[in-house]
């Protein structure tokens, strides 16, 4: 019973982290609980806990972490919002800290200035720093001919 309570507590703790680490110890505790249910002595339960936790951290966590990488980190082709970040945009309506409109690859996007102090006039070329929701956060383009 103690192992099951520990497994539940660790699973809840994982919900408050972004590491995908604690959940593997919860799996180990669950496996140890299974060993306890089969009547295994405490030493065997502890070994099952350590083995399942260690093996899952060593085998499964790297796979999960690899899939969490951005396209830039993994070398894959970016798509969606990730593909827009870093791209060039044309200012259609003045971009300030509060409002603006840009054209990115033929699509219209609301835009905001990255630092809030800069403003960009219609016709200026800017670079998309990041995307928040449906708003492009932009900064002056240091390489306007790209």
Q: How many CA atoms lie within 13 A of 77 on its CB side?
A: 1
Q: What is the pLDDT of residue 41?
A: 97
Q: Are 139 and 127 in contact (CB under 8 A)?
A: yes
Domain parsing of the chain, residue ranges: 2-68, 81-140
Instruction: Give pLDDT tens digits for 25-66.
Output: 999 999 999 999 999 999 999 999 999 999 999 998 888 777
Whole-model pTM: value is 0.50
Q: What is the pLDDT of residue 36?
A: 96
Q: Does domain 81-140 have CATH number 1.20.1740.10?
A: no
Per-residue pLDDT of 75-112, as tens digits, reads: 555 556 766 888 899 999 999 999 999 999 889 999 99
């Amino acid at each position: 019973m103690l192992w099951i309570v520990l497994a539940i507590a660790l699973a809840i703790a994982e919900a408050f982290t972004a590491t995908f680490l604690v959940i593997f110890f919860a799996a180990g505790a669950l496996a140890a609980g299974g060993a306890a249910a089969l009547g295994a002595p405490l030493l065997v339960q502890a070994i099952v806990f350590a083995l399942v936790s260690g093996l899952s951290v060593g085998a499964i966590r790297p796979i999960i972490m690899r899939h969490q990488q951005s396209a830039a980190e993994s070398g894959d082709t970016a798509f969606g919002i990730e593909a827009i970040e870093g791209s060039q945009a044309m200012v259609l309506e003045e971009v300030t800290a509060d409002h603006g409109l840009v054209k990115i690859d033929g699509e219209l996007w609301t835009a905001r200035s990255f630092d809030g102090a800069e403003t960009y006039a219609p016709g200026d070329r800017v670079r998309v720093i990041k995307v928040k929701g449906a708003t492009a956060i932009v900064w002056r383009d240091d390489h306007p001919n790209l």
